[in-house]
Amino acid sequence: MSIPQGVVAGVHSDDTHSFSKPPRAAIELVVGWGVRGDAHAGVTVRHRSRVAVDPGQPNLRQVHLIQAELLEEVRELGHAVPQGGLGENVTTAGIDLLSLPCGTILRFGAQPAEPSLGAREPREVHGLGTGAEGPGAGPDTSGTGVDRAVGGLDAGASGAADRPGMGAGGAAGSGGAAGAMEVVDVGRRVVLEGAAADAIAVLAAVVAAEETRAVRGDERPAVVVTGLRNPCQQINNFQPGLLKRVLGKGADGTPIRRAGIMAVVLRGGVVRPGDGVTVELPVAVPHRALDRV
């Protein structure tokens, strides 16, 4: 049985295209759509810079995650960035998100006690945590005293960002993974290159494997990691000098992007601060380092 490798330190959403997102008591993930009520939820791109280029592109950025350890790091360098300050939906603790390969599944909440009869072994889970003690861990590591009880599932939500005809959890009110294939279908109808094309291929393989997975009873909310956030000038507009803390260069001049990762919702459900996070590295596809999407 796999065990939680990290913890949800905070959750955030906003129905407007604000740079930062306010904290919530909980958020709801909708399969193939994103965070219910969030401005960036949708099957096709919602980030305004991407919409301006081509609004028909698949939305590989439905959920934005940042590790709380990064917020602590920049705080020590003089930047008091609260959880949600960089616009993430989920702040985690105990997982090196940036090291995960494309196609990694992150499952939120308590592991089911027992798989059903006839289930095969679950896919490989690797210990990628950095010391979190499980669902009870994860106090406010941003140093800003964010109130975890702020808001709720409907706090700040707008029907404009809700998926039409969707019940809690996804298609037909279920948490089934098939809804994530809608993003793949969009990707197959347009011309994609580079990391976006790779991410669509990986997402298709992961969703197919999830649909045939023999382990039953694990309906936890889950996302598939698709790539990196591309740090932009907005970060300096938020706090001068912060961009250089999350965007560097390697010895060969390759950009090092540290402003979090992006994901597509694989299974729907409610995510709250304190939930455990289980990391499942991809087995259906070769491991590929994350790139901007």
Domain boundaries, the chain: 6-280
pLDDT of residue 280: 95
More confident residue, 116 or 249: 249
106/97 Cα distance (integer angstroms): 10
pLDDT of residue 114: 61
Q: What is the DSSP letter of 274?
A: T
**Backbone angle region of 107, left / alpha / beta, with phi > 0 → left and psi within -120 to 50 → alpha:** beta
Residues 56-80, mean pLDDT to the nearest whole number: 96
User: Cβ atoms within 10 A of the Cβ of 26, count?
Assistant: 18
Percent of the chain with pLDDT over 70: 74
- How far does Cα 17 stand from its chain's mean position? 18
- pLDDT for residue 195 is more than 70: yes
116/184 Cα distance (integer angstroms): 30
Closest CA to 105 of 235, 239, 202: 202
Contact between residue 223 and residue 105 where contact means Cβ atoms under 8 Å apart: yes
- pLDDT for residue 121 is more than 60: no
Instruction: Compute the half-sphere exposure of residue 176: CA atoms within 13 Å on the CB side of its CA.
Output: 13
| Domain topology for 6-280 | M1 Pyruvate Kinase; Domain 3 (2.40.33)
Sign of the CA dihedral running 62, 67, 68, 72? negative
Closest CA to 98 of 210, 246, 274: 246
Residue 3: pLDDT band (50, 70, 90) is low
Q: Cα–Cα distances in Å, from 78 out to 10, 66, 72, 199, 235?
A: 22, 18, 10, 35, 15
31/184 Cα distance (integer angstroms): 13
Q: What residues have CB less than 8 Å from 165, skipping those under 6 apart?
A: none
pLDDT, averaged across the chain = 81
- pLDDT for residue 207 is more than 90: yes
pLDDT of residue 115: 53
Strand, coil or helix: what is 202?
Answer: helix
The region of weakest confidence among 72-86, 134-148, 196-210, 257-271 is 134-148
Residue 141: pLDDT band (50, 70, 90) is very low
- pLDDT for residue 177 is more than 50: yes
User: Cβ atoms within 10 A of the Cβ of 60, count?
Assistant: 25
pTM over 0.85: no
191/156 Cα distance (integer angstroms): 35
190/145 Cα distance (integer angstroms): 44
Q: What is the pLDDT of residues 95-107, one digit of tens each?
A: 999 999 999 999 9
Q: What is the pLDDT of residues 18-44, one digit of tens each?
A: 999 999 999 999 999 999 999 999 999
111/1 Cα distance (integer angstroms): 8
- pLDDT for residue 258 is more than 60: yes
Residue 272: pLDDT band (50, 70, 90) is very high
Residue 170: pLDDT band (50, 70, 90) is very low
Residue 73 token pair: 């790091």
65/23 Cα distance (integer angstroms): 13
Residue 216: pLDDT band (50, 70, 90) is low
pLDDT of residue 287: 93
| Mode of pairing for the β-strands spanning 6-12 and 276-280 | antiparallel
Contact between residue 3 and residue 127 where contact means Cβ atoms under 8 Å apart: no
pLDDT of residue 264: 98
- pLDDT for residue 222 is more than 90: yes
Strand, coil or helix: what is 267?
Answer: strand
pLDDT of residue 51: 62
Q: What is the pLDDT of residues 223-246, one digit of tens each?
A: 999 999 989 899 999 999 999 999
